[in-house]
Amino acid sequence: MLSKNGRECAEYDFSIIWLNGSGDGNALNWFYSSFQCLNGNPGDFHTEASWSSRQCIFHNVCLRQNGSSSKYVIDYFYPSSIKSLATTLIRSNNTFLALRHAARHVSGDLSTVEVHPIPMNHQNQTDPNSNLSYLDDTYLIYQILPDGDMNFGHVIFDDAFGLFANLKQFRATRYSSPKKNHVLVFRSCSQFPGNLSSLCHKFTEGIFPVITSHQVQSISSLFNSSVNSNRICFRELVAGHGSTGAVGWGPNNFNRAEVFSEFRSKLLVAHGINPNATPQQHHIMLVNKTGRRRFNNMNEIYSKILTTPRYSDIKVTIVNDFKNVSITQQLALFQTVTVAISPCGGISLLFFVLPRHSTLIVSSYPQLSKDVYTPGRMEAQVWDFQSHLHVIHYPVNASDDFTLSSEFKNTDWAALRNHANINLKVDKLFPLIDQAILTAARKRI
Protein backbone atom coordinates (compact mmCIF):
# COMPACT_ATOMS: atom_id res chain seq x y z
CA MET A 1 0.00 0.00 0.00
CA LEU A 2 1.42 3.38 -1.00
CA SER A 3 1.07 6.72 0.75
CA LYS A 4 0.80 10.08 -1.00
CA ASN A 5 4.57 10.43 -1.20
CA GLY A 6 4.92 6.98 -2.73
CA ARG A 7 6.47 5.37 0.33
CA GLU A 8 5.13 2.07 1.56
CA CYS A 9 2.91 2.31 4.65
CA ALA A 10 2.88 -0.12 7.55
CA GLU A 11 0.36 -2.90 7.19
CA TYR A 12 -2.80 -2.65 9.23
CA ASP A 13 -6.37 -3.86 9.19
CA PHE A 14 -8.65 -1.83 11.41
CA SER A 15 -11.71 -3.73 10.17
CA ILE A 16 -10.28 -6.73 12.00
CA ILE A 17 -8.93 -4.95 15.02
CA TRP A 18 -11.85 -2.70 15.83
CA LEU A 19 -14.94 -3.94 14.02
CA ASN A 20 -16.91 -7.13 13.86
CA GLY A 21 -15.07 -8.68 10.95
CA SER A 22 -17.81 -8.01 8.43
CA GLY A 23 -15.85 -5.33 6.64
CA ASP A 24 -18.73 -2.90 7.13
CA GLY A 25 -17.23 0.49 8.01
CA ASN A 26 -20.38 1.36 9.99
CA ALA A 27 -20.25 -1.74 12.16
CA LEU A 28 -19.81 -1.37 15.89
CA ASN A 29 -16.95 -2.78 17.87
CA TRP A 30 -18.38 -5.93 19.49
CA PHE A 31 -15.18 -7.45 20.81
CA TYR A 32 -12.83 -4.93 22.38
CA SER A 33 -13.49 -2.46 25.14
CA SER A 34 -13.76 1.29 24.87
CA PHE A 35 -14.45 4.06 27.30
CA GLN A 36 -14.95 7.77 27.79
CA CYS A 37 -14.40 9.57 31.07
CA LEU A 38 -15.26 13.03 32.34
CA ASN A 39 -13.67 15.00 35.15
CA GLY A 40 -10.69 13.80 37.15
CA ASN A 41 -8.24 14.64 34.34
CA PRO A 42 -9.84 12.48 31.63
CA GLY A 43 -6.82 12.93 29.39
CA ASP A 44 -4.46 11.22 31.83
CA PHE A 45 -5.81 8.02 33.29
CA HIS A 46 -2.67 7.46 35.32
CA THR A 47 -3.72 10.35 37.58
CA GLU A 48 -4.78 8.18 40.47
CA ALA A 49 -5.41 11.18 42.72
CA SER A 50 -8.45 12.03 40.57
CA TRP A 51 -10.32 8.78 41.26
CA SER A 52 -12.81 10.50 43.58
CA SER A 53 -14.28 12.81 40.93
CA ARG A 54 -14.10 10.79 37.72
CA GLN A 55 -17.15 9.40 35.90
CA CYS A 56 -16.88 6.99 32.98
CA ILE A 57 -18.92 5.09 30.46
CA PHE A 58 -17.50 1.72 29.36
CA HIS A 59 -18.39 -0.52 26.45
CA ASN A 60 -17.72 -4.26 26.26
CA VAL A 61 -16.24 -4.72 29.73
CA CYS A 62 -16.66 -7.24 32.52
CA LEU A 63 -17.00 -6.66 36.26
CA ARG A 64 -15.65 -8.92 38.98
CA GLN A 65 -14.93 -8.62 42.66
CA ASN A 66 -11.37 -8.42 43.93
CA GLY A 67 -11.44 -11.30 46.38
CA SER A 68 -13.28 -10.47 49.59
CA SER A 69 -12.43 -6.75 49.51
CA SER A 70 -14.85 -3.95 48.68
CA LYS A 71 -12.81 -3.15 45.59
CA TYR A 72 -14.17 -4.23 42.22
CA VAL A 73 -12.29 -4.79 39.00
CA ILE A 74 -13.34 -3.89 35.46
CA ASP A 75 -11.73 -6.16 32.88
CA TYR A 76 -10.86 -4.03 29.88
CA PHE A 77 -10.11 -5.95 26.66
CA TYR A 78 -7.69 -4.55 24.10
CA PRO A 79 -6.25 -6.12 20.92
CA SER A 80 -3.24 -8.24 21.80
CA SER A 81 -1.58 -7.02 18.60
CA ILE A 82 -1.36 -3.50 20.06
CA LYS A 83 0.81 -4.18 23.09
CA SER A 84 1.44 -0.51 23.79
CA LEU A 85 -2.16 -0.03 24.95
CA ALA A 86 -1.43 -1.98 28.11
CA THR A 87 0.90 0.72 29.41
CA THR A 88 -0.47 3.87 27.79
CA LEU A 89 -4.19 3.42 28.34
CA ILE A 90 -4.96 2.42 31.93
CA ARG A 91 -2.41 1.25 34.41
CA SER A 92 -3.35 -1.85 36.38
CA ASN A 93 -3.92 -1.71 40.13
CA ASN A 94 -4.80 1.99 40.19
CA THR A 95 -7.87 3.08 42.13
CA PHE A 96 -9.72 4.39 39.13
CA LEU A 97 -13.26 5.28 40.24
CA ALA A 98 -15.22 6.03 43.38
CA LEU A 99 -18.65 4.45 43.55
CA ARG A 100 -20.03 6.47 46.43
CA HIS A 101 -21.06 10.10 46.57
CA ALA A 102 -18.61 12.50 48.22
CA ALA A 103 -15.90 9.85 48.45
CA ARG A 104 -12.53 11.44 49.01
CA HIS A 105 -10.64 8.83 50.99
CA VAL A 106 -10.53 5.07 50.56
CA SER A 107 -11.84 3.33 53.69
CA GLY A 108 -12.92 -0.19 54.54
CA ASP A 109 -16.58 0.32 53.64
CA LEU A 110 -16.01 2.27 50.44
CA SER A 111 -16.53 0.55 47.09
CA THR A 112 -14.05 1.54 44.43
CA VAL A 113 -13.12 0.25 40.99
CA GLU A 114 -9.82 -0.69 39.42
CA VAL A 115 -9.48 -1.22 35.68
CA HIS A 116 -7.32 -4.11 34.47
CA PRO A 117 -6.24 -4.15 30.79
CA ILE A 118 -6.46 -7.66 29.32
CA PRO A 119 -5.02 -8.55 25.89
CA MET A 120 -7.39 -10.46 23.64
CA ASN A 121 -7.49 -11.87 20.13
CA HIS A 122 -11.13 -12.32 19.19
CA GLN A 123 -10.22 -14.35 16.09
CA ASN A 124 -8.53 -16.99 18.22
CA GLN A 125 -11.31 -19.24 19.44
CA THR A 126 -9.08 -20.59 22.19
CA ASP A 127 -8.86 -17.14 23.76
CA PRO A 128 -11.06 -17.44 26.89
CA ASN A 129 -12.42 -13.91 26.35
CA SER A 130 -13.27 -14.22 22.65
CA ASN A 131 -16.84 -15.48 23.13
CA LEU A 132 -18.17 -13.69 26.17
CA SER A 133 -21.88 -13.21 26.83
CA TYR A 134 -22.79 -9.56 27.45
CA LEU A 135 -25.80 -7.96 29.09
CA ASP A 136 -27.48 -5.51 26.79
CA ASP A 137 -28.97 -2.14 27.81
CA THR A 138 -27.20 0.33 30.11
CA TYR A 139 -26.13 -0.54 33.64
CA LEU A 140 -25.20 1.97 36.32
CA ILE A 141 -23.26 0.87 39.38
CA TYR A 142 -22.89 2.72 42.67
CA GLN A 143 -22.83 2.28 46.43
CA ILE A 144 -25.89 3.62 48.22
CA LEU A 145 -24.91 5.62 51.30
CA PRO A 146 -27.39 5.24 54.16
CA ASP A 147 -26.94 7.86 56.82
CA GLY A 148 -28.18 6.92 60.28
CA ASP A 149 -31.67 8.15 59.44
CA MET A 150 -31.69 7.42 55.70
CA ASN A 151 -32.68 10.99 54.93
CA PHE A 152 -34.98 11.30 51.92
CA GLY A 153 -33.28 14.49 50.75
CA HIS A 154 -29.88 12.82 50.72
CA VAL A 155 -31.20 9.80 48.85
CA ILE A 156 -32.64 12.14 46.23
CA PHE A 157 -29.42 14.03 45.63
CA ASP A 158 -26.58 11.85 46.88
CA ASP A 159 -27.92 8.77 45.15
CA ALA A 160 -30.62 9.24 42.52
CA PHE A 161 -29.67 12.63 41.10
CA GLY A 162 -26.03 11.55 40.89
CA LEU A 163 -26.91 8.66 38.62
CA PHE A 164 -29.34 10.79 36.62
CA ALA A 165 -26.66 13.46 36.13
CA ASN A 166 -24.12 10.84 35.06
CA LEU A 167 -26.49 9.65 32.35
CA LYS A 168 -26.95 13.21 31.13
CA GLN A 169 -23.21 13.81 30.88
CA PHE A 170 -22.66 11.20 28.17
CA ARG A 171 -24.30 11.62 24.81
CA ALA A 172 -24.68 7.85 24.50
CA THR A 173 -27.08 7.84 27.47
CA ARG A 174 -28.34 11.42 27.57
CA TYR A 175 -31.61 10.56 25.88
CA SER A 176 -31.97 6.97 27.07
CA SER A 177 -35.29 5.65 28.33
CA PRO A 178 -35.76 4.27 31.85
CA LYS A 179 -36.69 1.00 30.11
CA LYS A 180 -33.09 0.75 28.89
CA ASN A 181 -31.42 1.55 32.20
CA HIS A 182 -30.64 -0.75 35.12
CA VAL A 183 -29.28 0.31 38.52
CA LEU A 184 -26.89 -1.97 40.40
CA VAL A 185 -26.04 -1.36 44.05
CA PHE A 186 -23.30 -2.95 46.12
CA ARG A 187 -25.57 -3.28 49.14
CA SER A 188 -29.28 -3.92 48.71
CA CYS A 189 -31.96 -2.37 50.90
CA SER A 190 -32.64 -5.72 52.57
CA GLN A 191 -29.07 -5.71 53.92
CA PHE A 192 -29.59 -2.55 55.98
CA PRO A 193 -30.60 -3.05 59.61
CA GLY A 194 -34.01 -2.34 61.09
CA ASN A 195 -35.85 0.76 59.97
CA LEU A 196 -33.14 1.64 57.43
CA SER A 197 -34.21 -1.29 55.29
CA SER A 198 -37.87 -0.20 55.00
CA LEU A 199 -36.86 3.43 54.41
CA CYS A 200 -34.41 2.35 51.73
CA HIS A 201 -37.14 0.40 49.93
CA LYS A 202 -39.57 3.31 50.24
CA PHE A 203 -37.12 5.86 48.89
CA THR A 204 -35.62 3.81 46.07
CA GLU A 205 -39.06 2.69 44.89
CA GLY A 206 -40.23 6.30 45.04
CA ILE A 207 -37.28 7.99 43.35
CA PHE A 208 -35.52 5.57 41.02
CA PRO A 209 -38.33 5.34 38.43
CA VAL A 210 -36.84 8.61 37.19
CA ILE A 211 -33.81 6.59 36.09
CA THR A 212 -34.99 3.03 35.57
CA SER A 213 -38.26 1.19 35.15
CA HIS A 214 -36.59 -1.92 36.56
CA GLN A 215 -36.19 -2.81 40.22
CA VAL A 216 -32.92 -1.68 41.78
CA GLN A 217 -30.77 -4.79 41.98
CA SER A 218 -27.74 -5.74 44.04
CA ILE A 219 -24.59 -6.78 42.25
CA SER A 220 -24.40 -9.94 44.34
CA SER A 221 -27.81 -11.08 43.09
CA LEU A 222 -26.69 -10.46 39.53
CA PHE A 223 -23.55 -12.51 40.13
CA ASN A 224 -25.64 -15.30 41.63
CA SER A 225 -27.98 -15.38 38.64
CA SER A 226 -25.16 -15.28 36.11
CA VAL A 227 -23.84 -18.35 34.32
CA ASN A 228 -20.38 -17.26 35.35
CA SER A 229 -20.76 -16.25 38.99
CA ASN A 230 -17.29 -14.74 39.07
CA ARG A 231 -17.73 -12.16 36.31
CA ILE A 232 -20.52 -10.19 34.63
CA CYS A 233 -20.04 -8.56 31.24
CA PHE A 234 -21.80 -5.43 29.99
CA ARG A 235 -22.24 -3.79 26.63
CA GLU A 236 -22.62 -0.44 28.37
CA LEU A 237 -21.60 0.35 31.94
CA VAL A 238 -21.74 3.80 33.60
CA ALA A 239 -19.66 4.15 36.73
CA GLY A 240 -18.26 6.84 39.00
CA HIS A 241 -20.12 8.61 41.74
CA GLY A 242 -17.72 10.96 43.45
CA SER A 243 -18.38 14.44 44.81
CA THR A 244 -19.06 15.72 41.31
CA GLY A 245 -21.08 12.69 40.29
CA ALA A 246 -23.99 13.76 42.43
CA VAL A 247 -24.08 17.38 43.51
CA GLY A 248 -20.87 19.04 42.48
CA TRP A 249 -19.04 21.78 44.30
CA GLY A 250 -18.88 25.31 42.94
CA PRO A 251 -18.17 25.38 39.21
CA ASN A 252 -18.88 21.65 38.85
CA ASN A 253 -22.58 22.52 38.82
CA PHE A 254 -22.23 25.33 36.29
CA ASN A 255 -25.01 25.10 33.68
CA ARG A 256 -26.69 22.28 35.61
CA ALA A 257 -29.90 24.21 36.24
CA GLU A 258 -31.53 22.50 33.26
CA VAL A 259 -30.55 19.05 34.56
CA PHE A 260 -31.92 19.86 38.02
CA SER A 261 -35.16 21.05 36.46
CA GLU A 262 -35.50 17.97 34.24
CA PHE A 263 -34.88 15.66 37.20
CA ARG A 264 -37.58 17.44 39.20
CA SER A 265 -40.07 17.23 36.34
CA LYS A 266 -39.46 13.55 35.69
CA LEU A 267 -39.77 12.73 39.38
CA LEU A 268 -43.14 14.46 39.61
CA VAL A 269 -44.40 12.92 36.37
CA ALA A 270 -43.41 9.47 37.67
CA HIS A 271 -45.87 10.08 40.51
CA GLY A 272 -48.63 11.39 38.26
CA ILE A 273 -48.10 15.04 39.21
CA ASN A 274 -48.04 17.91 36.72
CA PRO A 275 -44.62 19.58 37.13
CA ASN A 276 -45.88 22.83 35.57
CA ALA A 277 -48.86 23.38 37.85
CA THR A 278 -48.71 26.39 40.21
CA PRO A 279 -50.81 27.02 43.33
CA GLN A 280 -53.50 29.68 43.05
CA GLN A 281 -53.25 30.70 46.70
CA HIS A 282 -50.40 31.04 49.14
CA HIS A 283 -49.45 28.30 51.53
CA ILE A 284 -46.66 28.76 54.08
CA MET A 285 -45.14 25.53 55.36
CA LEU A 286 -42.94 25.36 58.48
CA VAL A 287 -40.72 22.29 58.95
CA ASN A 288 -40.68 21.05 62.53
CA LYS A 289 -37.59 18.88 62.43
CA THR A 290 -36.48 16.81 65.41
CA GLY A 291 -32.84 16.14 66.16
CA ARG A 292 -29.99 18.40 65.19
CA ARG A 293 -30.33 21.72 63.31
CA ARG A 294 -33.96 22.12 64.30
CA PHE A 295 -35.91 25.31 64.95
CA ASN A 296 -36.20 25.90 68.71
CA ASN A 297 -39.28 28.15 68.67
CA MET A 298 -41.47 26.69 65.95
CA ASN A 299 -44.79 27.09 67.79
CA GLU A 300 -44.00 30.70 68.69
CA ILE A 301 -43.28 31.62 65.05
CA TYR A 302 -46.37 29.75 63.88
CA SER A 303 -48.59 31.74 66.26
CA LYS A 304 -47.05 35.05 65.23
CA ILE A 305 -47.62 34.35 61.55
CA LEU A 306 -51.25 33.48 62.25
CA THR A 307 -51.80 36.71 64.21
CA THR A 308 -50.08 39.01 61.71
CA PRO A 309 -52.80 40.85 59.73
CA ARG A 310 -51.03 40.80 56.37
CA TYR A 311 -50.87 36.99 56.51
CA SER A 312 -54.48 36.54 57.64
CA ASP A 313 -55.69 35.04 54.35
CA ILE A 314 -52.73 32.70 53.96
CA LYS A 315 -52.79 29.01 54.88
CA VAL A 316 -50.03 28.15 57.37
CA THR A 317 -49.11 24.58 58.33
CA ILE A 318 -46.46 22.82 60.38
CA VAL A 319 -45.15 19.48 59.13
CA ASN A 320 -43.51 17.12 61.59
CA ASP A 321 -42.61 13.96 59.70
CA PHE A 322 -43.67 11.89 56.71
CA LYS A 323 -43.35 8.39 58.17
CA ASN A 324 -46.94 7.48 57.42
CA VAL A 325 -47.11 9.36 54.12
CA SER A 326 -46.27 7.85 50.76
CA ILE A 327 -43.74 9.52 48.49
CA THR A 328 -46.55 10.43 46.09
CA GLN A 329 -48.58 12.07 48.86
CA GLN A 330 -45.51 13.92 50.08
CA LEU A 331 -44.67 15.31 46.65
CA ALA A 332 -48.31 16.26 46.03
CA LEU A 333 -48.41 18.16 49.32
CA PHE A 334 -45.31 20.13 48.36
CA GLN A 335 -47.04 21.25 45.16
CA THR A 336 -49.45 23.30 47.28
CA VAL A 337 -46.64 25.22 49.00
CA THR A 338 -45.54 28.68 47.93
CA VAL A 339 -43.26 29.47 50.89
CA ALA A 340 -41.35 26.70 52.71
CA ILE A 341 -39.34 27.52 55.84
CA SER A 342 -36.86 24.76 56.61
CA PRO A 343 -33.76 24.07 58.67
CA CYS A 344 -30.62 23.43 56.67
CA GLY A 345 -29.36 19.92 56.04
CA GLY A 346 -30.84 17.03 54.12
CA ILE A 347 -34.39 17.94 55.16
CA SER A 348 -34.24 21.11 53.08
CA LEU A 349 -33.33 19.15 49.93
CA LEU A 350 -36.90 17.83 49.81
CA PHE A 351 -38.10 21.24 48.71
CA PHE A 352 -36.32 21.34 45.38
CA VAL A 353 -39.63 19.94 44.04
CA LEU A 354 -41.57 23.07 45.08
CA PRO A 355 -43.75 24.62 42.38
CA ARG A 356 -42.26 27.13 40.00
CA HIS A 357 -41.92 30.65 41.43
CA SER A 358 -42.18 29.36 44.99
CA THR A 359 -39.63 30.27 47.63
CA LEU A 360 -37.59 28.18 50.01
CA ILE A 361 -36.38 30.02 53.09
CA VAL A 362 -33.64 27.79 54.47
CA SER A 363 -31.68 28.61 57.61
CA SER A 364 -27.96 29.11 57.51
CA TYR A 365 -25.69 27.83 60.25
CA PRO A 366 -23.28 29.83 62.42
CA GLN A 367 -19.64 30.14 61.45
CA LEU A 368 -17.12 31.74 63.77
CA SER A 369 -14.43 33.94 62.29
CA LYS A 370 -12.32 36.29 64.41
CA ASP A 371 -14.89 36.16 67.23
CA VAL A 372 -17.70 37.16 64.84
CA TYR A 373 -20.50 34.85 63.72
CA THR A 374 -21.25 34.75 60.02
CA PRO A 375 -23.94 32.72 58.23
CA GLY A 376 -22.80 29.53 56.53
CA ARG A 377 -24.82 28.13 53.62
CA MET A 378 -24.85 24.35 53.90
CA GLU A 379 -26.49 23.44 50.58
CA ALA A 380 -25.18 26.31 48.49
CA GLN A 381 -23.86 23.80 45.95
CA VAL A 382 -27.48 22.84 45.30
CA TRP A 383 -29.44 26.06 45.76
CA ASP A 384 -27.08 28.25 43.76
CA PHE A 385 -28.01 26.27 40.65
CA GLN A 386 -31.80 25.94 40.96
CA SER A 387 -33.66 28.13 38.49
CA HIS A 388 -37.31 27.11 38.93
CA LEU A 389 -37.69 28.41 42.49
CA HIS A 390 -36.29 31.18 44.69
CA VAL A 391 -34.00 30.30 47.57
CA ILE A 392 -33.34 32.69 50.47
CA HIS A 393 -31.00 31.86 53.33
CA TYR A 394 -32.21 32.94 56.76
CA PRO A 395 -29.18 34.64 58.35
CA VAL A 396 -27.68 33.20 61.53
CA ASN A 397 -25.05 35.76 62.46
CA ALA A 398 -25.37 36.45 66.18
CA SER A 399 -24.83 34.44 69.36
CA ASP A 400 -28.55 34.59 70.26
CA ASP A 401 -29.58 33.26 66.84
CA PHE A 402 -28.86 29.70 67.96
CA THR A 403 -28.44 27.40 70.94
CA LEU A 404 -25.76 24.78 71.38
CA SER A 405 -25.77 21.99 73.93
CA SER A 406 -23.21 22.35 76.72
CA GLU A 407 -21.43 19.23 75.50
CA PHE A 408 -20.23 21.22 72.47
CA LYS A 409 -17.90 24.19 72.27
CA ASN A 410 -19.21 27.31 70.51
CA THR A 411 -15.79 27.70 68.91
CA ASP A 412 -15.87 24.26 67.27
CA TRP A 413 -16.68 24.59 63.56
CA ALA A 414 -18.15 21.09 63.27
CA ALA A 415 -20.32 21.55 66.36
CA LEU A 416 -21.68 24.85 65.08
CA ARG A 417 -22.42 23.36 61.68
CA ASN A 418 -23.99 20.13 62.83
CA HIS A 419 -25.53 20.76 66.23
CA ALA A 420 -26.56 24.42 66.49
CA ASN A 421 -30.36 24.72 66.75
CA ILE A 422 -31.85 27.91 65.36
CA ASN A 423 -33.85 30.58 67.18
CA LEU A 424 -36.06 32.19 64.55
CA LYS A 425 -36.65 35.92 64.95
CA VAL A 426 -39.65 37.79 63.59
CA ASP A 427 -37.61 40.81 62.55
CA LYS A 428 -35.40 38.57 60.38
CA LEU A 429 -37.94 36.04 59.13
CA PHE A 430 -40.95 38.15 58.23
CA PRO A 431 -39.14 40.38 55.71
CA LEU A 432 -38.07 37.19 53.93
CA ILE A 433 -41.65 35.92 53.87
CA ASP A 434 -42.78 39.28 52.50
CA GLN A 435 -40.14 39.11 49.81
CA ALA A 436 -41.26 35.61 48.86
CA ILE A 437 -44.89 36.68 48.58
CA LEU A 438 -44.09 39.72 46.47
CA THR A 439 -41.75 37.72 44.24
CA ALA A 440 -44.45 35.18 43.50
CA ALA A 441 -46.89 38.01 42.75
CA ARG A 442 -49.78 36.11 44.32
CA LYS A 443 -50.51 38.27 47.35
CA ARG A 444 -54.11 39.37 47.54
CA ILE A 445 -54.49 43.13 47.72
User: What are the strands, taking DSSP E only, across 220-320?
Assistant: 232-239, 283-287, 315-319
Please say if the pLDDT value at position 17 is more than 50: no
User: CA-CA distance, 411 to 328, in Å (whole number)?
Assistant: 42
Residue 149 — pLDDT band, cuts 50, 70, 90? Answer: low
Question: Residue 441: left if φ>0, alpha if ψ -120 to 50, beta else—which one?
Answer: left
Which residue would you say has higher pLDDT here, 208 or 158? Answer: 208
Residue 14 — pLDDT band, cuts 50, 70, 90? Answer: very low
DSSP-assigned letters across all residues of 310-365? GGTTSEEEEE---TTS-HHHHHHHHTT-SEEEE-SSGGGGGGGGSPTT-EEEEE-E
The per-residue b/e assignment along 49-65, b for 16 or more CB within 10 angstroms, e otherwise, is ebbbbbbbbbbbbbbbb
Q: What pLDDT is stored for residue 187 in this prediction?
A: 78
Please say if the pLDDT value at position 440 is more than 50: yes
User: CA-CA distance, 252 to 262, in Å (whole number)?
Assistant: 18
Segment among 47-51, 324-328, 372-376 with least mean pLDDT = 47-51
Please say if the pLDDT value at position 342 is more than 90: yes
Condensed to tens digits (0 to 9), the pLDDT of residues 253-267 reads 777 788 888 999 999
User: CA-CA distance, 313 to 92, in Å (whole number)?
Assistant: 67
SS3 of the chain: helix, strand, coil, percent, to 5:
30, 20, 45
Q: What pLDDT is stored for residue 91 in this prediction?
A: 61
Segment among 144-148, 256-260, 304-308, 422-426 with least mean pLDDT = 144-148
Return the domain boundaries, the chain: 1-30, 31-248, 267-440
DSSP-assigned letters across all residues of 20-79? -SS--TT----SS-EEEEESS-TT-TT-GGGGGG-EEEEEEEEEEE-TTSSEEEEEEEEE
Condensed to tens digits (0 to 9), the pLDDT of residues 184-206 reads 987 788 888 888 888 888 888 99
Regarding the domain delimited by 267-440, which CATH topology (the fold level of the hierarchy) does it fall under?
A: Rossmann fold (3.40.50)
The pLDDT of 25-46, averaged and rounded, is 72
The CA-CA-CA angle for residues 98, 101, 107, to 5°, reads 55
DSSP-assigned letters across all residues of 147-195? -TT--HHHIIIIIIIHHHHHHHHSHHHHT--TTTEEEEESS-GGGS-TH
Q: What pLDDT is stored for residue 444 in this prediction?
A: 44
Q: What pLDDT is stored for residue 312 in this prediction?
A: 93
Query: Where is mean pLDDT largest: 193-197, 228-232, 330-334?
Result: 330-334
